[in-house]
Amino acid sequence: MITYPRYKVAVAHVAPVFLDLPATVDKTCSLIEEAARHDAQLVAFPEAYLPAFPLWSALQAPLYSHDFFVRLAASAVTCPGPELARIGAAARRTGIFVSLGFNELSRVSVGCLWNSNVVIGDDGSVLNHHRKLVPTFWEKLTWANGDGAGLRVVETRLGRIGVLICGENTNPLARYTLMAQGEQVHVSTYPPVWPTRDPKHGGNYDLASAIRIRAGAHAFEAKAFTVVASAFLDAGTLEHLARAIPDAGRILEASPRSVSMVLGPTGDPVSEIASNVEGLLYADIDLSACVEPKQFHDVVGSYNRFDVFHLTVDRSANRPITFAGGAVAAAAEPAAREGEATAPAAMEIGEPL
């Protein structure tokens, strides 16, 4: 007989310690412990949380941003790596699941970064590792394209959990890929602010409105709970950017903020909505609420035509080099795998950090 878990989730509407990886890891572990003290079973952190979202790329021309890029690359995380090991240990110690956004550094290139996310189990293991498929607009100045290896829904005692990063939540094929794996809890992650125009000229991108539309659409179509984890724009980040970039403070202060929330399978919020205050947001979810709406409109079941529509997803991991044939190549192959060992195709699901 099927049972439907009921539990509390925590959304970390928080800021990193700007470009300070050790301090941000410390903050992450502290927040995991705080969420566990409040009986949360899952805590979701924002996009690129370790150790900063590259807002500078929106605020000045790229020829002025080299120093920021070098600092970000020096503070980026490998997967597996010591920083994720510490966070995995905190998850194991508290018995909580963690979704975490981070800047990922390639093991074979000191200048190749991805916008990545891991789902960490309550035993501290990596259940899934996803790289954002396509960086959005000015994000292309920082991150490389990801691949389909992380387009996976993981089966857990909390139900089937999937994650997409920011603009991927507007990609109907990526969203359907997770829906079609029986997703019950969807985590979507966002930055604190996303400037597209100087506010004095008007017409800036309304990030909060975009998040509400995307999150509501996915919750309604998937008949799943959607956990929206957006970052908070704190005084430390503002100070760092304003000190280095003319007009940064004015532009960021006047740009629309992101929001964090939890939505139910009807697309309606089941939590408070966080925006201007930093902290953990909690919500109780009951996965039995996902069942009845499937009677009405199940896009991965009875309300579809699989004889008419076909979707094929390539989940192979992109690698910079492939060795083939001969004893020499066989000896070199482990090093090649290590070069991009972060993709799920090269990991056992549940492999310890």
Confidence of residue 333 (pLDDT cuts 50, 70, 90): very low
| In the predicted structure, residue 328 carries a pLDDT above the cut 80 | no
| In the predicted structure, residue 329 carries a pLDDT above the cut 80 | no
* Buried/exposed code over 307-340 (b: 16+ C-beta within 10 A; e: otherwise): eeeeeeeeeebebeeebeeeeeeeeeeeebbebb
CA atoms within 13 A on the CB side of 159: 27
- 50: closest CA among 27, 68, 33? 27
**Cα–Cα distance, 118 to 129 (Å, whole number):** 4
- Give residue-wise pLDDT tens across range 225-255: 999 999 999 999 999 999 999 999 999 999 9
Active-site residues, by number, are 47, 132, 166
Q: Classify residue 107: in a domain, yes or no.
A: yes
- The pLDDT of residue 81: 97
Pairing of strands 154-156, 159-165: antiparallel
Task: Work out the number of other CB atoms within 10 angstroms of the CB of residue 29.
Answer: 18
Q: Classify residue 255: in a domain, yes or no.
A: yes
Give the 3-state secondary structure of residue 127: strand
| In the predicted structure, residue 27 carries a pLDDT above the cut 50 | yes
Mean of pLDDT values over 6-14: 98
Mean of pLDDT values over 210-215: 97
CATH assignment at residue 250 = 3.60.110.10
- The pLDDT of residue 184: 98
Among residues of the chain, what percentage have pLDDT more than 90? 89
- Give residue-wise pLDDT tens across range 272-306: 999 999 999 999 999 999 999 999 999 999 999 99
- The pLDDT of residue 327: 62
Q: Classify residue 171: in a domain, yes or no.
A: yes
**Burial of 346 by CB count in 10 Å (0-12 exposed, 13-18 middle, 19+ buried)?**
middle
Q: Classify residue 80: in a domain, yes or no.
A: yes
| In the predicted structure, residue 347 carries a pLDDT above the cut 50 | no
Mean pLDDT of the chain: 92
What tokens were used for 218? Answer: 């996915």
Q: Classify residue 130: in a domain, yes or no.
A: yes
Confidence of residue 202 (pLDDT cuts 50, 70, 90): confident
Q: Classify residue 352: in a domain, yes or no.
A: no
Task: Look at the chain and report how many structural domains it folds into.
Answer: 1
Mean of pLDDT values over 209-220: 97
Pairing of strands 6-13, 279-286: antiparallel
- Give residue-wise pLDDT tens across range 121-163: 999 999 999 999 999 999 999 999 999 999 999 999 999 999 9
- The pLDDT of residue 325: 80
Confidence of residue 353 (pLDDT cuts 50, 70, 90): very low
- The pLDDT of residue 351: 33
List, in sequence order, every beta strand (DSSP E) within the chain.
6-13, 40-44, 97-105, 113-120, 126-131, 154-156, 159-165, 185-190, 225-230, 261-263, 279-286
Looking up tokens 């699989």, which residue turns up? 306
Confidence of residue 112 (pLDDT cuts 50, 70, 90): very high
Q: Classify residue 353: in a domain, yes or no.
A: no
- The pLDDT of residue 336: 37
- Give residue-wise pLDDT tens across range 248-257: 999 999 999 9
Q: Classify residue 1: in a domain, yes or no.
A: no
- The pLDDT of residue 324: 87
| In the predicted structure, residue 348 carries a pLDDT above the cut 70 | no
Mean of pLDDT values over 22-43: 98
Please give the single-letter amino acid code of residue 141: L
Which alpha helices (H) appear in the chain, and where do they start and end? 21-37, 56-59, 66-74, 82-94, 172-179, 207-222, 235-244, 248-254, 292-296, 326-339
Q: Could you tell me the residue range of the domain that residue 251 belongs to? A: 6-346
CA atoms within 13 A on the CB side of 44: 29
**Cα–Cα distance, 127 to 117 (Å, whole number):** 11
- The pLDDT of residue 164: 98
Distance from chain centroid for Cα 174? 14
Confidence of residue 338 (pLDDT cuts 50, 70, 90): very low
